[in-house]
Structure 1
Amino acid sequence: MNPFIHENFCLETETAQELYHNYAANQPIIDYHCHLSPQEIAEDKRWNNITQVWLYGDHYKWRAMRSNGVSERLCTGKASDREKFSAWAATVPATLRNPLYHWTHLELKKYFNCDDLLSAQTEQQVWDMSSERMSEQSFSARGLMESSKVKLVCTTDDPIDSLEHHIAIKNDENFDIQVLPTWRPDKGMTVESSSEFNQWLDALSQRADIHIDNFDSYMRALNKQHDFFHEVGCRLSDHGIETAYALDYSDQEIKMIFDEIRSGKELSELKVLKFKSAMLYHFGVMDANKNWTQQYHLGAIRNNNSRLFKSLGPDTGFDSIGDFELARPLAKLLDRLDSGNNLAKTILYNLNPRDNEVLATMIGNFQDGSVAGKMQLGSGWWFLDQMDGMTRQIEALSQLGLLSRFVGMLTDSRSFLSYTRHDYFRRILCNILGNDVKGGLLPNDTELLGSMVKDISYNNAENYFGFDL
């Protein structure tokens, strides 16, 4: 009897199996959007036990554990690592048909060579097996990346970051994997709180060594940091926003709004939205001038549980899918950039599955023939980073755009074990194509289909982003 995770997992046809094993499985990985710690890579972090590498910071698992009646003490609290692992192991059988069940066992198989189904009955043997594996010299941040065939990762970094760890990695001749920063300037437009924004401005002022007392000096500081990121190797930006912002404004209005912010005044909702609209435009122009790729992660509604947000902070599992108006403001923002020939290569990610077709048709409005797949429908992310979400993204892009030009999967993760997401995606892609061949919807030409699989798995990303590999 085959173990649950076996070589043909998710591959329902012979064609799918051939496409996966001959064209997808051995492709290297460009993980162009993740939340790994560059410091942990620079220091080649090691962990004392599986809980530390697997459960620390994993809000996906915490949400499932809470849903299973597990107390906060065993999720983010002060329970021991062994107790937290036991609580997770007891939860895993309850995750059947949740993507966590697949992810859990894919990671156990790949990184621990473990075929056991994790449960309360098997937790001790899994704990022991993982402890033995983690004692090996190769089980470290860098070792896991190397064993996963990673060639390059892009972390997510604030404009005020020193990038010291990226620079250290770049200068380390003993490590061949590129670790590049990504410009994430969300705090540069988050003006709902003047005090918090001014604290960030002060940090930016110090980092850029520019006194920020008006909007023009603010933009000089941002551009100086943007140049610095480029010098260190950054070629992508990223924006985590509820929706696009594209209200009309004048330059004079924005300068006056900035003066209000700097004086400590709280802004009206209208002024907040105008400032966000201006900054999204300016950020887009900065990216276009350097031939970067801009990414918009759209649609999350965050920190919904105010009680637990106050005690636990952000990114602890209390965010969800939002239902914001998307199409009209996004079209206006992209057109505003395109009208001045300032529209950079762009990847649009939606969190609400209702918006797959919205974005798949939106990107077609701004393809201009300058770059193959200039406008991209991003992979399923966060709540859509699972079999149904990935399948629906593939289907929408297939029907309304060019799947063959898709730049493929990413981890969007803080975990060094998440590279199985790339494998999971490749299996799902090959399975869809294999079933189409079986149904007579695609030609039974594995060389033709295999070429597309290789492109989506790796080649498209290498060509699109312009990394020096």
Structure 2
Amino acid sequence: MATQFTPHPDRLLPADPTTREVARRLYDEVASLPIISPHGHVNPLLLLDNEPFGDPAELLITPDHYVTRMLFSGAGIDGDAVGRTKNGTPSDAEPREIWRRLAENWFRYHGTPVRYWMEHELAELFDVTETLGADNADAIYDQVSARLADDAFRPRALFDRFKIEVMATTDDPADDLAAHKALADDGSFSGRVLPTWRADRFTDPSGARWLPALDDLENAVDGADCRTYEGLLAAMRASRQHFIEHGATATDSGLPDAGSTPLEPAEAERIHAAGLNGTVTEAEAIAYRHNMLYRFAEMSVEDGLVMQLHPGVIRNHHRASFKAYGADVGCDFPDVASFTKPLEPLLNAFGTHPNLHLVLFTVDETVFSREVGPLAGFYPAVYAGVPWWFIDTPQAILRFRDAVTDSAGYYKGSGFIDDTRAFLSIPARHDMARRCDAHHLAQRVATHQITEDDATQVIKDLTTTIPTATFKL
């Protein structure tokens, strides 16, 4: 039998009544502030086309690897059964059946941020008042479907309802950014949707994506010659200027590690040629990648683009899933991360340069207090990125605040980033972060480490001022 459900107004706030009162006041100061989303993966075509969303399963389950990975791990429900294309063949799973599979396994999400976000979405957006389960799956499916058919649930209407002030996307250097330009030129759309330059596939001359990347960039940049290393750098600089002209303020790099040792130009050119003819060694490819990270920082010093770095992820760990369904299906995992030694060449060259903002993200919590906090606490260029991906959870955010604040304070951070493709989850994620910050600051107030007046200013700055300044928005 279905149980009534309404998100508790004090969710994620401290249990102690006195401290909770402080947290309530702090949260109330920021609950309705605009959303600054400087790092995300929403496709800009979603807002440009402004078409109605599809069925509830297509929207909330099939593309969301946070959701589908737990169905696979707990109940053995594979990608085909949740609507993913398998080996090039579209799934024949019915949307309502996909939704029922989630409802039958809803208990598996107890205590997870996935359940927190989705319950927030169901309650706040779709006015669902019962806990999802097998007995009410169809009724809730129909309720959500009916709302999605309303013009008030089209992407642009929701963008305004969510009070998103600025949202960054993630884009390839060869992208023409036509969707961003069209949105910027559309007088009926008042939001800011900014591209982010991400050049991962250009960094590994031993990878299958490298040669196609060179071809794509040559086709995108007039007069480019990516057959040489120096020609590639020149094309990248031109691409970055194209991004800046379309509103970009940042780059993003998701590399295996943070190595940043530069190469002499002649050695880099030699390895580049080896990549072209298919003779590059693993050691040479790693050296080339480390050199490219250094060059990205060099470019950021030149053009002012904020540099984001999130190393230490083992991608596509389960080869059968990757082969069948492609990337981003839930089988990426955290690796041990390190920043201090690997970034030494980069930071010695650029760590005090006023043009560089280097935001360090990690999925390895052990480096919060050991490396990320201390680096941000010394180098003017370094900023501590908030927890994301596997540690984008209430408890991890609280641990991050305690670990990093000791070394770096509050004002050398990124502000919250939602890092999501799931457009409807953006307000849920930001609300979660604001509640966690209220929780953390209230505890500091209760132990007389900060006054409530100062905590009020800090939580406002964490929500808007800090991400705006860090990402040069």
Tell me the TM-score normalized by structure 1: 0.93
Report the equivalent of 2:214: 201
Secondary structure of the 1:237 match is strand
Report the equivalent of 1:329: 342
Kindly state the Cα deviation for residue 64 of structure 1 after the two structures are TM-superposed.
0.7
1:297 to 310, 325, 331: 310
Kindly state the Cα deviation for residue 71 of structure 1 after the two structures are TM-superposed.
2.2
Kindly state the Cα deviation for residue 404 of structure 1 after the two structures are TM-superposed.
4.1
1:222 to 210, 229, 236: 236
Q: Greater CA deviation, 301-310 or 117-126?
A: 117-126
Report the equivalent of 1:355: 367
| In 1: Cα distance, 2:262 partner to 2:306 partner | 25
Q: Please show how residues 372-383 of structure 1 align to structure 2 within 5 Å.
A: 374-383=381-390
1:422 to 421, 430, 438: 430
Q: Greater CA deviation, 320-329 or 295-304?
A: 320-329
1:107 paired to 2:121: yes
Task: Tell me, yes or no, if the aligned pair for 1:47 and 1:134 is still in contact at 8 Å.
Answer: yes
**Cα–Cα, structure 1 residues 28 and 116, in superposed 2: closer, same or farther, change >3 Å?**
same
CA deviation vs aligned residue, 1:211-247 (integer Å, no higher than 9, x gap)? 3331222122111111111111111000001211223
Secondary structure of the 1:116 match is coil
Kindly state the Cα deviation for residue 326 of structure 1 after the two structures are TM-superposed.
3.7
Task: Tell me, yes or no, if the aligned pair for 2:96 and 2:138 is still in contact at 8 Å.
Answer: no
Task: Tell me, yes or no, if the aligned pair for 1:281 and 1:337 is still in contact at 8 Å.
Answer: no
Q: Please show how residues 154-169 of structure 1 align to structure 2 within 5 Å.
A: 154-169=168-183
Output the amino acid matched with 2:190: D
Output the amino acid matched with 1:399: D
1:49 to 55, 58, 65: 55
Task: Tell me, yes or no, if the aligned pair for 2:363 and 2:388 is still in contact at 8 Å.
Answer: yes
**Cα–Cα, structure 1 residues 448 and 248, in superposed 2: closer, same or farther, change >3 Å?**
closer
| Structure 2 segments unaligned to the other structure (5+ residues) | 15-19, 85-90
Q: Please show how residues 327-406 of structure 1 align to structure 2 within 5 Å.
A: 327-338=340-351, 341=353, 344-357=356-369, 358-367=371-380, 374-406=381-413
Q: Please show how residues 60-459 of structure 1 align to structure 2 within 5 Å.
A: 60-72=66-78, 73-75=80-82, 76=84, 77-193=91-207, 196-209=209-222, 210-247=224-261, 249-262=263-276, 264-338=277-351, 341=353, 344-357=356-369, 358-367=371-380, 374-419=381-426, 420-443=428-451, 445=452, 447-459=453-465
Task: Tell me, yes or no, if the aligned pair for 2:23 and 2:438 is still in contact at 8 Å.
Answer: yes
Kindly state the Cα deviation for residue 431 of structure 1 after the two structures are TM-superposed.
1.3
| In 2: Cα distance, 1:70 partner to 1:350 partner | 29
| In 2: Cα distance, 1:31 partner to 1:325 partner | 26
Q: Greater CA deviation, 284-293 or 328-337?
A: 328-337
1:59 paired to 2:72: no
1:466 paired to 2:472: yes
CA deviation vs aligned residue, 1:94-133 (integer Å, no higher than 9, x gap)? 2111222211211112211223211212312211221222
Kindly state the Cα deviation for residue 439 of structure 1 after the two structures are TM-superposed.
3.9
Secondary structure of the 1:431 match is helix
RMSD, aligned α-carbons: 1.9
Secondary structure of the 1:376 match is strand
| In 2: Cα distance, 1:248 partner to 1:147 partner | 47
Q: Greater CA deviation, 181-190 or 132-141?
A: 132-141
| In 1: Cα distance, 2:114 partner to 2:191 partner | 28
Output the amino acid matched with 2:296: F
| In 2: Cα distance, 1:44 partner to 1:155 partner | 16
Kindly state the Cα deviation for residue 317 of structure 1 after the two structures are TM-superposed.
0.8
Task: Tell me, yes or no, if the aligned pair for 2:311 and 2:337 is still in contact at 8 Å.
Answer: no
Output the amino acid matched with 2:71: M
Output the amino acid matched with 2:432: Y
Tell me the TM-score normalized by structure 2: 0.92
Secondary structure of the 1:317 match is coil
Secondary structure of the 1:170 match is helix
| In 2: Cα distance, 1:68 partner to 1:78 partner | 22
Output the amino acid matched with 1:395: D
Q: Greater CA deviation, 351-360 or 2-11?
A: 2-11
Q: Greater CA deviation, 430-439 or 299-308?
A: 430-439
Report the equivalent of 1:371: none
Kindly state the Cα deviation for residue 3 of structure 1 after the two structures are TM-superposed.
4.2
Report the equivalent of 1:370: none
| In 1: Cα distance, 2:338 partner to 2:166 partner | 35
Task: Tell me, yes or no, if the aligned pair for 2:445 and 2:455 is still in contact at 8 Å.
Answer: no
Report the equivalent of 2:17: none
| In 2: Cα distance, 1:385 partner to 1:437 partner | 24
Kindly state the Cα deviation for residue 2 of structure 1 after the two structures are TM-superposed.
9.1
Kindly state the Cα deviation for residue 8 of structure 1 after the two structures are TM-superposed.
2.3
Q: Please show how residues 8-27 of structure 1 align to structure 2 within 5 Å.
A: 8-12=10-14, 13-21=20-28, 23-27=29-33
Task: Tell me, yes or no, if the aligned pair for 1:243 and 1:330 is still in contact at 8 Å.
Answer: no
Q: How many residues align?
A: 455
CA deviation vs aligned residue, 1:347-398 (integer Å, no higher than 9, x gap)? 100111111112111222312xxxxxx4211010000000121111111121
Kindly state the Cα deviation for residue 456 of structure 1 after the two structures are TM-superposed.
0.3
Kindly state the Cα deviation for residue 290 of structure 1 after the two structures are TM-superposed.
1.7
| In 1: Cα distance, 2:138 partner to 2:269 partner | 62
